[in-house]
Structure 1
Amino acid sequence: MKVGIDARNLVTKTTGISRYVQEMARHLALAGHEIFLYIPEKPYSEPLKAPNVHVSISDFAGGPRRMIWAQTVLAHMARQDGLDVFWGPAHRLPFYLDRKIARVVTVHDLVWREQKATMRLQTRLADRFLMKPAANSADQIVVDSVATGEALCALSKGYESKLRVVYPGVTKLAKPKQQDTVSSFRIDRPYALFVGTLEPRKNLKSLLEAYALLPQEVRKGLLLVLAGGQGWRLSDLESHITDLNLRDSVRLTGYVSDEQLAELYQNAKFLAMPSLYEGFGFPIVEAHAAGVPVLTSNTSSMPEVGGGAALLVDPYDIRSISAGLEKMATDAGTHEKLAENALDNAKRFDWNLSASRLEETFRDAIALRRQQLG
């Protein structure tokens, strides 16, 4: 198949969705398909290199200009390249794709509907007004979890017949060449690890307040390490840490490389991820792939993804989060049981299987498009 991909997510530093685009494109290329990556501006890292991968980089830097690119240049290039199927891997499809081209869109989450107060206004409005048209025009819709699929179908029953649940895979992070990440971040004792962008949806202020409620002797033996780049509306996070008298117990690493992240996972006592909402939650399966148990929320997709290797808490109840932290830190039986289940749970998420399921979805979309055209 000739597969076109809106690869605008490769413009930024590696996040869950950009990793999703990279891995799916790589595995589709390895399966022998001809891949066309369309990128509105210079990507953060070098795109795939292979004889059957074609990369088109435009000069449309910045959010507003990328939106113009998506509805003009992108649709034009897709028509010129004679695609069999066009894939929007993150909630978007061009309005004016050639009608002969089958189209598939992936919906990762409905944050704009479920947790709109936690989003930037521009992003929320874009998702609100562009996701539905993409889902309506798509021949097939891919979602990362059953929970996201159910939330999407609540918007329209018409989505049910073309909905496919395709779990993402888990990326094996490169083993660190030098074991110095932990010491470089002043991590000198066991720690609970948070991984993700520092933004309101991740519920970090509640996590910090829950951690502050722990008995002093527990906190003395358990650091809290927050690994991730600065998002928005959390510029005062350090002030919050100071106000809670936690400066000696919390480490902020900032954005970390894959090698640094691998070492942080390997040495963590557990992952602490009490998010308000997740469409999937890559850190859960990344931690499990490292054999690390997880504390996460009892909402949206997190119980589904955590399987039998996660302790669930109520993200809206600070005492529930705190009790969970204490249990993970002090209850050896619970910790051991969850750790034993971690690797088996991670095996459910495999990029080869993900790409194979996506390939099936593309073929179904092509067949439906041809049927419609007669």
Structure 2
Amino acid sequence: MKIVLSVDPVRFPLTGIGRYTYELAQRLATSPDITDLRYMASHRFLPSLPSPSDVSGKAHWLRRVAQKLPMAIETYRHLMPLLKSRALREHSDFLYHSPNYYLPRFEGRRVATFHDLSPFTWSQCHTPEIGRFLRKELTHTVQRADRLITDSEFTRQELATYFNWPLERIDAVPLASSAEFHPRDEAELAPVLARHGLQPGSYSLFVGTIEPRKNIDTLLDAYVRLPLPLRRRFPLVLTGYHGWQSEAIHQRLESAGREGWARYLGFVPGHELPLLFAGARLFTFPSLYEGFGLPVLEAMSSGVPVVCSTTSSLPEVAGEAALMCEALDVDALTALIAKGLEDQTWRHAAIDAGLTRAARFSWERCALGTLETYRRTMAQS
């Protein structure tokens, strides 16, 4: 097979989609089934797979500015697909895979990965301009694709239902946590955690973009109901990129910080994140909607007990290893967090169960599933 893989998401900040793209690209590069693998970023072919960066550059700053300008978004929406299509003209004998939704016009075979349907089902979690852009482009993707990939069975079913798309032409291919996420001893953790004023086993952790969809308001409501000594002994630590409509959340975090029971670390560099996970006493993730929920898997791989919501795809990831409740049930979430922090019997069992559960997911299996999608696409009439 001859494959063109879009690697646009491999850039700062490296989100879950960027990690997926990077890990998948590395495995595809070693597959004997692929005779020619080419990486495409923007409308150019790259000589090699780019490395993830922990440092924002001029391009990141320009994107942030452009995202606030409706005219810039509309210009990009029209111009970039044309440039991509022109660059792909001589590659019609390749299969083009977009791991980040978008498909340009292309004469060859076309596969796209849909990570979730939030632009359609949770449009309030995007700026109006970005939301309109995503809905237009993702609708084009559904019209152009030969086959689609989702991260979970939940999203597979949701995608087929929402767009009335043939379910048999959608493949659920689960993600995985990277090898950097594993249990670590205190001596290894101490230097990095000390830079953030933390000690191993001394905090609860949330990792994700600071935005309404992550349900951080409910997490704060639940945490504040814990006894103050328990909150201060195990403060809630949050890290993630600034997202849409996060100003009120940050105000609450600043107030909680002054009271000594919560801290926002900002966007933590990628090489530090696995240690931040491994050093946590508990991982908390009451998200309202996830296409997969990679942070839950990363926590379990790190040997950290998990409390999360029962929404969307999260039960597929957590299985029986986590404590779960309805996303907006504040009282239940408070009780589960308290149990996760204090119940040593459950904690030991949850760590073992989480490691066993996480071992069922791997990037190698993700790559094999993706290759099977390629084969099915090439075999379609």
Same fold, judged at TM 0.5 (above): yes
Structure 2 match to 1:186: 197
Structure 1 match to 2:219: 207
Structure 1 match to 2:87: 77
Range with greater deviation from structure 2 (211-220 or 151-160): 151-160
Q: Distance in 1 between matches of 2:244 and 2:225?
A: 26
Aligned residues: 355
Equivalent position amino acid for 1:81 in 2: H
SS of equivalent residue, structure 2 residue 271: helix
Could you tell me how far 1:273 is from its partner in structure 2?
0.6
1:115 aligns with 2:122: yes
Range with greater deviation from structure 2 (21-30 or 317-326): 317-326
Residues 130 and 228 of structure 1: is their aligned pair in 2 closer, same or farther, counting only changes over 3 Å? same
Q: TM-score normalised to the size of structure 1?
A: 0.87
Structure 1 match to 2:37: 35
Residues 184 and 12 of structure 1: is their aligned pair in 2 closer, same or farther, counting only changes over 3 Å? closer
Q: Given that residues 92 and 106 in structure 2 are in contact (C-alpha distance below 8 angstroms), is that contact kept between their aligned partners in structure 1?
A: no
Equivalent position amino acid for 1:39 in 2: A
Match of 2:99 among 54, 76, 89: 89
Question: CA deviation digits over 1:88-127, x for unaligned, max 9?
Answer: 2122111x211xx111111100112332212222332223
Q: Given that residues 212 and 246 in structure 1 are in contact (C-alpha distance below 8 angstroms), is that contact kept between their aligned partners in structure 2?
A: no
SS of equivalent residue, structure 2 residue 96: strand
Question: CA deviation digits over 1:231-265, x for unaligned, max 9?
Answer: 22113434213445754121211111222111111
> Structure 1 unaligned runs (5+)?
50-56
Q: Given that residues 187 and 223 in structure 1 are in contact (C-alpha distance below 8 angstroms), is that contact kept between their aligned partners in structure 2?
A: no
Match of 1:141 among 138, 148, 155: 148
Map 1:12-23 to 2 at 5 A. Answer: 12-23=12-23
SS of equivalent residue, structure 2 residue 162: coil
SS of equivalent residue, structure 1 residue 173: coil
Residues 287 and 342 of structure 1: is their aligned pair in 2 closer, same or farther, counting only changes over 3 Å? same
Structure 1 match to 2:137: 130
Q: TM-score normalised to the size of structure 2?
A: 0.86
Q: Given that residues 212 and 246 in structure 2 are in contact (C-alpha distance below 8 angstroms), is that contact kept between their aligned partners in structure 1?
A: yes
Structure 1 match to 2:336: 324
Match of 1:239 among 228, 243, 251: 251
Equivalent position amino acid for 1:328 in 2: G
Residues 330 and 246 of structure 1: is their aligned pair in 2 closer, same or farther, counting only changes over 3 Å? farther
Q: Distance in 2 between matches of 1:334 and 1:270?
A: 12
Q: Distance in 1 between matches of 2:43 and 2:280?
A: 37
Could you tell me how far 1:276 is from its partner in structure 2?
0.8
The CA RMSD over aligned residues, in Å, is: 2.5
Could you tell me how far 1:129 is from its partner in structure 2?
1.9
Match of 2:172 among 138, 162, 165: 165
Q: Given that residues 256 and 263 in structure 2 are in contact (C-alpha distance below 8 angstroms), is that contact kept between their aligned partners in structure 1?
A: no
Question: CA deviation digits over 1:199-226, x for unaligned, max 9?
Answer: 1111112211211111123213211110
Q: Distance in 1 between matches of 2:242 and 2:369?
A: 34
